[in-house]
Structure 1
Amino acid sequence: MNRGTVYGGAPPRLHPRQVRDRQFSTVSFGRRGLDPQEVRQFLHRVALELATLHQDVNRLSEENTRIKRALRDWQSSQAQRRLS
């Protein structure tokens, strides 16, 4: 689901493989470890993606509840109609 963006829109969604396979640059100048800024940027992107996914799950859960309620109401009205 990686789509390009237009004019600085949201970056394409992260794929689990991208997170699993992500490699960071090592820090130069005799220091050991990863580039902290690069790690922070990636973690920020992952956090934003997770926030979006949580919002989507909540929205879909509410929509699912609404649809189930509408279906129950419709089924009840059909059952009453048959009894009349």
Structure 2
Amino acid sequence: MTRGTLYDGTFHGAARLARLHPSQVRDRQFAVVGFGRRGLDPREVRRFLHRVALELATLHHDVARLSEENARVKRALRDWHSARPERRQP
């Protein structure tokens, strides 16, 4: 049902991809090829698959970066806790 453009908006004068929402993938419909041919337009399908791949690559990169940051914060907290003197309860 959803038919949209590949690029949405600009960032410093260059076209950028809008964030891809799962419903856009689920609901995507492709144009049928011209008269005398059957099936979907292969160029349109390839463009959409390329967009999905770019979005997934970005998300995988973000997850890896956030996992590294999480591990760094946990190490820092553990080091800070171990460096603190014991507090005694009165």
Alignment partner of 2:15: what SS?
Answer: coil
The gaps in structure 1 that reach 5 residues or longer are: none
C-alpha root-mean-square deviation of aligned residues, in Å? 1.5
Q: Which has the higher contact order (CA 8 A, sep 6+)?
A: 2
Could you tell me whether the CA contact under 8 Å between 1:5 and 1:12 is conserved in 2? no
TM-score, normalising length: structure 1: 0.86
- Tell me the CA shift for residue 33 of structure 1: 0.4
Q: Percent identity?
A: 70
Matches within 5 A, 1:1-84: 4-6=9-11, 7-78=13-84, 81-82=85-86
Aligned residues: 79
User: Which has the larger share of strand?
Assistant: 2
TM-score, normalisation: structure 2: 0.81
Which structure has more helix as a fraction of its residues?
Answer: 1
> Structure 2: which 5+ runs fail to align?
1-7
Runs ≥4 in structure 1, deviation > 4 angstroms? none
